[in-house]
Structure 1
Amino acid sequence: MSYKLLKEGDARSGLIQGITCEGWVIKSKKAPICNSNEIDRFQKDVGIPPPEMIFGNNYVELTHGPLKYTWNTMDALALVDSSAGSGDYIKVSYAKEWSSKSNYQHVKDVVKPYDWTYTTTYKGTNHFGREWEKVDEPVINVERLQQKEPILFYDENILYEDELADNGTAMLSVRLRVMPSCFLVLQRFFLRVDDVLFRINDTRIYHEFGSPYLVREYTSKEDHYMNIRKKMEGKDIGLLNDANWIASILSSKAATAMERDRISIQ
């Protein structure tokens, strides 16, 4: 197949890399962490305190003719729950002790509630102008992805990250790889709350060149922190920060959501 690699800009102003092939233009932009003015603007627009590390100018973009699908930080964080009581869904391991302190109720009353774990159900932003169609059967050709093919383009892009006041970590990232026969984009939200839980929300976008469809699979899995610790069996504790390892041992029983759909690109 014929393809062309793309590269423009630089790390300081924003580096865009990507590939054009089979009528697709696939781009990934990485820029520096947001400055104070950008953070203030974000908080005003979205209405919640931003994560510690917010890469608001980063994005991943798929275009096919007039059709476009993107991933960006603002749209992802806009789906963080900020309803009343949302900050109480997940408690840190010492929350009971902390809540007994005399000033807790005052703090709770004056701070705007939001999900402090920055959990998002974001699946990307659809600019196709048409709706996704639900599909019951598997939509991703796992056997094809397991075949040995040259990787024409690969990138990993972080949209935001937070250490949750030293109680764990939350990170939203997008990885993409393009092969001669297909491409796969994995958007992953990874959450670790120490002594409480692990959660992974994955969105996979897949396309086989020549197919009339772009397909999508969304899964959400979580398990108690100690259940994961029991599976380490003397392994390096650093694996608790490895989203890939955590994802590999979260069983299907840990799934709280599974969605499959497709959209026509013709």
Structure 2
Amino acid sequence: MSGPTHKLINNNGTKGIDIGDWTILSHKTSILSSNEIDTASADLGIPIPEMIFGNNYLSIEHKKSGFKLEFKALPALAMVDQSSTSSDHIKVSYAREWFDKRSMANQEHITDVVKPYDWTYSTRYSGSNVSTNNALEFRPTTEESIDIEQLKRPDPILFYDENILFEDELADNGTALLTTKMRVMPGCFFILLRFFLRVDDVLFRVYDTRIYHRLGAPTVIRECSTRESSYKDIRSRIPRSKGDDLSLLLDSNWVSSQLPEQESFVESVQLVAI
């Protein structure tokens, strides 16, 4: 299948592709240093996840219009609920002990700002719009949607990458994980930003953001969805043939396919010239 000319990028931990009017980059490096962790915790006002890849990012930039969307860990964590009732609806047998332990571990650098927060790190982050043109904003749409049929076609994949932004095992109570997946084909590109939460014996939650663009089209489409159900419900859906094997509960794709959708909406941004 023919398509726009493209060039792969691979430079000091940054991989990506130049294709048509787009530059797509995925940067990976090590977890934050202790000094960076201190600064991030103080800025955010909460203990940060155990594995925080604060310098990792995925970015897409449309060179003609100036539209640019980035996906990073710290802006995502800035959206974690810090209200006084942020985690009242999620309880584990020793949640209070866990919270106190995490707070004490970080007291040296956030003594003055420790406060209640959603210890599951649930975030509805859908990307950071850093476009050079303020008019390039996502707006609700009912006329456009992701072309699922195009994504199903066995077109060659010109570029693919996965990137972990943060991960926490919730003091052995489960996992909270924020990741990006990107694939570029000759006719389109697709991004999945996923927040996956498993609180053992309590619940599963998935916040998905999907970004789709048909190369040459005048718009970029963003679809956001929320899925959630009890741990007991999802565990009951494991096929009987699996016996006592619970490994499917670690598979965010399988879990997501079993979760009922609670909310979804579609937005698009018009790629206008500056």
CA distance in 1, matches of 2:91, 2:226: 19
Alignment partner, residue 90 of structure 2 = 90
Q: Where in structure 1 do 4 or more consecutive aligned residues deviate above 6 Å?
A: none
Superposition pairs of residues 81-160 of structure 1, within 5 angstroms = 81-92=81-92, 94-95=93-94, 112-128=115-131, 129-130=134-135, 131-137=137-143, 139-160=145-166
Alignment partner, residue 228 of structure 1 = 234
Alignment partner, residue 7 of structure 1 = 10
Please give the secondary structure, in 1, of the residue aligned with 2:87: helix
Alignment partner, residue 20 of structure 1 = 18
Structure 2 counterpart of 1:255, one-letter code: E
- Between stretches 225-234 and 126-135, larger displacement belongs to 126-135
* 1:242 positional shift: 0.6
* 1:233 positional shift: 2.0
* 1:249 positional shift: 1.7
Alignment partner, residue 75 of structure 1 = 75
Q: Would you say the 8 A contact 1:89–1:115 is kept in 2?
A: no
Q: Would you say the 8 A contact 2:6–2:20 is kept in 1?
A: yes
Q: Would you say the 8 A contact 2:82–2:118 is kept in 1?
A: yes
* 1:196 positional shift: 0.6
Residues 126-170 of structure 1: per-residue CA shift (max 9 Å, x gap): 123232221125510000100110000000000000000100000
CA distance in 1, matches of 2:145, 2:10: 31
Gaps of 5+ in 1: 10-14
Please give the secondary structure, in 2, of the residue aligned with 1:41: helix
Q: Would you say the 8 A contact 2:219–2:268 is kept in 1?
A: yes
Is 1:44–2:42 an aligned residue pair? yes
Picking from 190, 197, 205, the partner of 2:196 is 190
Residues 165-190 of structure 1: per-residue CA shift (max 9 Å, x gap): 10000000000000000000000000
Picking from 243, 249, 254, the partner of 2:258 is 249
Gaps of 5+ in 2: 105-112
Please give the secondary structure, in 2, of the residue aligned with 1:86: coil
Residues 17-62 of structure 1: per-residue CA shift (max 9 Å, x gap): 0000011000000010111101000011111100000000000000
Q: Cα RMSD (Å) of the superposition?
A: 1.9
